[in-house]
Amino acid sequence: MDIKLKNGETLDFKPDFKLSLTLNNPMLTEQGSMSLPVVLPESNRRKLGFPDRLDHAYKIKQVFNTVIGAGSYQKPALLRTTSHNKGTIGAFYLNESEMYAKMKDVDLSQAFNIIRPASDFHVAGTFAETLDMVIKYMELVMVDNIKEDFHLFPVATDYYTETVHTGFGDKEYTFYQLLNEQMSGQNRNDNLTDIDLNGEEYYMLAGRNARQYNEGGSLVDVPKGYGITPFLKQSYVLHRIFEYFGYRLEESIFDTDPEFQKMVLVNNTADAIVRGELNYAQLVPSGTIKDYLDSVRTDYGCEFFISPDHKYVEVKFWNDLIKNKKFIPLDSKATGKEIPNLAEPKLLKLTGNRSIEYTDVNFDTQEKFEKNYGQLKYAKDTIYQGRPDYPAGYYLIQSLGDIYERYPYVNDSGNTVRGWRYHSKYLFDSYEEKTDTDYEDKAGKRDYIASVSAFVHYTGTLVGVNIPGEYHRMLFIGNRRHLNTFVKKLHTDENGNQTVADEKEDTVSCPIITAFYRGKTSPAGRPRPVIYGNIMMYDDQGEPLEGGFNLIFGGENGLYNKFWKLYADVIRHSFLQVEIPLKFDIRDILTFRFDNIYLYKGQPLIPEKLEFEIEKDNKIKVISALFRTIRLYLDE
Tell me the torsion sign for CA atoms 33, 38, 44, 49. Answer: positive
Q: How confident is the model at residue 462 (pLDDT cuts 50, 70, 90)?
A: very low
Tell me the backbone φ, ψ of residue 175, rounded to 5 degrees: -110, 135
| Domains in the chain, number | 3
Among the candidates 534, 557, 591, a domain finishes at 534
Give the three-class secondary structure for 55. coil
Residue 306 Cα distances to 98, 204, 303, 612, angstroms: 9, 44, 10, 20
Does residue 590 lie in a domain region? yes
Same domain, 370 and 405: yes
Q: Give yes or no: residues 159 and 236 share one domain.
A: yes
Looking at this protein, which amino acid is placed at residue 537?
A: M
Contact in structure between 182 and 453 (CB atoms under 8 Å): no
Residues 610/625, Cβ–Cβ less than 8 Å: yes
Answer whether residue 502 shows pLDDT above 70. Answer: no
- Do 396 and 424 fall within a single domain? yes
Last residue of a domain, one of 379, 412, 443: 443
Range of the domain at 156: 112-301+450-534
Q: Per-residue pLDDT tens for 173-195?
A: 788 889 999 887 555 556 788 99
Residues 232 and 295 in one domain: yes
Q: Is the pLDDT of residue 201 over 50?
A: yes
pLDDT digits (tens, 9 = 90+) for 260-318: 999 999 999 999 999 999 999 999 999 999 999 999 999 999 999 998 888 899 999 99
Choose the weakest-confidence range: 33-47, 413-427, 529-543, 596-610.
Answer: 33-47
The separation between CA 478 and the C-alpha centre of its own chain, rounded to angstroms, equals 17
Residue 583 is part of a domain; what is its CATH number?
2.30.110
* Alpha-carbon gap, residue 549 to 299, rounded angstroms: 12
Whether 341 maps to a domain, the answer reads: no
Determine the average pLDDT of the residues in 244-272: 97
- Please provide residue 616's backbone torsions phi and psi, each rounded to the nearest 5 degrees: -60, -30
CA proximity to 279, closest of 120, 439, 154, 160: 120
Residues 132 and 223 in one domain: yes
Concatenated DSSP letters of 290-308: HHHHHHHHHHHTEEEEEPT
Give the model's confidence band at 219: pLDDT under 50 very low, under 70 low, under 90 confident, else very high.
confident
Least confident of 245-259, 290-304, 485-499, 614-628: 485-499
- Residue 70 scores a pLDDT above 90: no
Instruction: Taking residues 556-585, report their average pLDDT.
Output: 96
Do 255 and 358 sit in the same domain of this protein? no
| pLDDT tens by residue, 356-401 | 999 999 999 999 999 999 999 999 988 766 655 789 999 999 999 9
- Residue 543: Cβ-neighbour burial (10 angstroms; 0-12, 13-18, 19+): exposed
On whether both 140 and 207 belong to a single domain, the answer is yes
Let me know whether 130 and 274 are in one domain.
Answer: yes
Average the pLDDT over each of 166-175, 226-235, 330-339 and give the range with the smallest value. 166-175
443, 458, 479 — which closes off a domain? 443
- Give the pLDDT confidence score for residue 437 in this predicted structure: 83
> If you average pLDDT over residues 39-62, what whole number do you get?
78
The better pLDDT of the pair 167, 317 is held by: 317
Residue 308 lies in a domain: no
- Helix (H), strand (E), coil (C) string for 582-621: ECCCHHHHHHCCCCCCEEECCEEEEEEEEEEEEECCCCEE
In a domain? residue 546:
no
pLDDT band at 469 (very low <50, low <70, confident <90, very high): very low
Task: Let me know if residue 565 belongs to a domain.
Answer: no
> Does 288 lie in the same domain as 355?
no
Do 92 and 127 reside in the same domain of the chain?
no
Residue 311 covered by a domain: no
**pLDDT for the residue numbered 384:** 64
Query: Are 33 and 169 in a shared domain?
Result: no
Q: Please name the residue ranges forming H helices in 116-206.
A: 130-142
Q: What percent of the chain has pLDDT over 70?
A: 91
Helix (H) / strand (E) containing 318: helix 318-323
- Among 325-329, 360-364, 464-468, 581-585, whose mean pLDDT is lowest? 464-468
Q: What is the 3-state secondary structure (H, E, C) of 13-41?
A: CCCCCEEEEEEECCCCCCCCEEECCEEEC
- Reply yes or no on whether the pLDDT at 614 is more than 50: yes
Pairing of strands 169-179, 155-166: antiparallel
Q: Does residue 555 fall inside a structural domain? A: no
Mean pLDDT confidence for 77-104: 84
What does the alpha-carbon distance between residue 575 and residue 380 come to, in Å, rounded to a whole number? 41
User: How far is Cα 282 from Cα 268, in angstroms, rounded to an integer?
Assistant: 9
pLDDT of residue 528: 75
Q: In the prediction, which pLDDT does 493 show?
A: 72
Give the E-state strand segments of 398-508 in sequence order: 402-410, 416-425, 438-447, 450-452, 456-458, 461-463, 474-476, 487-492, 498-504
- Whether 460 is covered by a domain: the verdict is yes
Output 14 or 575, whichever has higher pLDDT.
575
49 lies in the same domain as 163: no
